[in-house]
Amino acid sequence: MGLELAVLGDSTALLPHKIIQELTKKVESIMTRAQGLAAVENQEPAAQAGILVQDIGPIRKFIKEVCGPVCDDLDKKHKAATGLRKFFDAPMASLELKFQTMISDFFMERERERKKQEAILQVQRDKEHKKEVRVIAGTVAIQSGMQAAAEIREEMGDAPPVILEKIHVAGMNLGTVWHAEVIDSVAFVKGLASGKIPISMFDAEASSNKVDKQAADLDGKIDYPGVRIWEGAKIRRNRR
């Protein structure tokens, strides 16, 4: 039975090669002796197990002695590096969140106004389109009959949708996403029991996470008892 040291990476950067070799030899020796001892069912294997336990003790003490100081040193360096990271990153993270929130509020306000204007313009366009269809269909009816007029109406269909351009912010990728959360657990459970909510949405620990994901996937087209849905900004900074 060989000891696979590859998982340790460059272990010689942590301990001298001589110590690594000694540890490998000691541990492999114990592992080889232990390989044939599958169970303790009588006195002889019990004695073998007892000797193994006795021999393992000093090896573990040796491991602690050679690895302990290295672990303590690395722990101190890790804490120092973590402190530096927090010291420099905390104000950056705070500013990033502040400006993202400001951009998010600005974007959602403009997005609501954009959709409102789209709806108003769509009503106007629908009226104009219907008027145009009536005029053309009336002319065709006189010239070619009612069947041809009906075909013209079918061909012209509905008015094309009004789509206003979304706002842009330099350096940012802006969009919207639907969110959902369980706000009434009793109503939610009753909805599960009645079949109004798919049973796949049930999770004692993460039901809100599941309905939130489904709201995003279905663009808010869910109507579950005890669940609140809302549309929010989806903001990502562009990579340079």
- Classify residue 96: in a domain, yes or no: no
Q: Are residues 74 and 119 in the same domain?
A: no
- Classify residue 14: in a domain, yes or no: yes
What average pLDDT does the segment 200-214 reach?
87
Task: Look up tokens 């990033």; give the residue.
Answer: 96
Amino acid 11: pLDDT: 64
Q: Are residues 152 and 199 in the same domain?
A: no
- Classify residue 227: in a domain, yes or no: yes
- Classify residue 97: in a domain, yes or no: no
Q: Are residues 28 and 54 in the same domain?
A: yes
- Classify residue 123: in a domain, yes or no: yes
- Classify residue 141: in a domain, yes or no: yes
Q: Are residues 191 and 231 in the same domain?
A: yes
CA–CA distance, 183 with 177 (Å, rounded to integer): 19
From first CA to last CA, the distance across the chain in angstroms is 51
Q: Residue 31's closest CA among 59, 62, 2, 9?
A: 2
Q: Are residues 19 and 56 in the same domain?
A: yes
Does 6 have pLDDT greater than 70?
Answer: no
Q: What is the pTM of this model?
A: 0.65
Amino acid 113: pLDDT: 96
CA–CA distance, 149 with 133 (Å, rounded to integer): 9
- Beta strands 172-182; 227-237: pairing state: antiparallel
- Indicate the number of domains in the chain: 3
Among the candidates 124, 156, 188, a domain finishes at: 156
Six-digit token string for 18: 């001589």
Q: Are residues 152 and 180 in the same domain?
A: no
Amino acid 9: pLDDT: 55
Q: Are residues 143 and 192 in the same domain?
A: no
CA–CA distance, 156 with 164 (Å, rounded to integer): 22
Residue pair 236/100 in contact by the 8 Å Cβ criterion: no
Helix-strand-coil percent breakdown of the chain, rounded to 5? Answer: 70, 10, 25
Amino acid 86: pLDDT: 95
- Classify residue 166: in a domain, yes or no: no
CA–CA distance, 18 with 5 (Å, rounded to integer): 14
Amino acid 1: pLDDT: 47
Q: Are residues 186 and 128 in the same domain?
A: no
Could you tell me which residues come within 8 angstroms of residue 192 by beta carbon, excluding any fewer than 6 positions away? 199, 201, 202
Q: Are residues 14 and 72 in the same domain?
A: yes
Strands (E), the chain: 172-182, 227-237
Mean pLDDT of the chain: 90
Does 16 have pLDDT greater than 70?
Answer: yes
Confidence band for 8, pLDDT divided at 50, 70 and 90: low
Torsion angles phi and psi, residue 229, rounded to 5: -120, 150
Residue pair 182/227 in contact by the 8 Å Cβ criterion: yes
Does 82 have pLDDT greater than 90?
Answer: yes
Give Cα separations from 116 to 54, 120, 121, 165, 178 (angstroms): 80, 6, 9, 13, 18
Could you tell me which residues come within 8 angstroms of residue 56 by beta carbon, excluding any fewer than 6 positions away? 30
Written as one string, the DSSP assignment of 82-122 is HHHHHHHHHHHHHHHHHHHHHHHHHHHHHHHHHHHHHHHHH
Structural domain of residue 76, as residue ranges?
10-81
Q: Are residues 184 and 212 in the same domain?
A: yes
What average pLDDT does the segment 157-185 reach?
93
What average pLDDT does the segment 185-199 reach?
93
- Classify residue 161: in a domain, yes or no: no
Residue pair 122/114 in contact by the 8 Å Cβ criterion: no
Q: Are residues 149 and 177 in the same domain?
A: no
